[in-house]
Amino acid sequence: MSSLVRTSIWGVGSLALYVLLFLFSDETIELARRTREGEKIWFVVPIVIALLFSLVHGAFTGYFWDAVGLKPADKNRKK
């Protein structure tokens, strides 16, 4: 798979997550309110969201800089 295709796929995935987050932003605020009121189980929601975004957006940003030519000096070099 070319680096441009790979970057585009992860980029679309990342964009989709951000669109979903802002479409459902009222729901995230509501879940935080319910957590404050005692339904503690909802504390997992921001943590799961953060991990999911780090996976998808993290992969996208890594491939993005690679695609624009910003690469490390030597791959797998040991200090």
Residues in contact with another protein by CB under 8 A are 18, 21-22, 25, 28-29, 32-37, 40, 42-47, 49-51, 53-54, 57-58, 60-62, 64-65, 70-79
Which pair of tokens denotes residue 62?
């890594």
Least Å distance, CB 66 to another protein, is: 9
Cβ-proximal residues to 46 (8 Å cutoff; 6+ apart), any chain: 28, 32
Cβ atoms of 78 and 18 closer than 8 Å: no
Complex with another protein: residue 3 or 54, whichever CB lies closer: 54
Element (H, E) at 56: helix 44-67
Complex with another protein: residue 1 or 47, whichever CB lies closer: 47
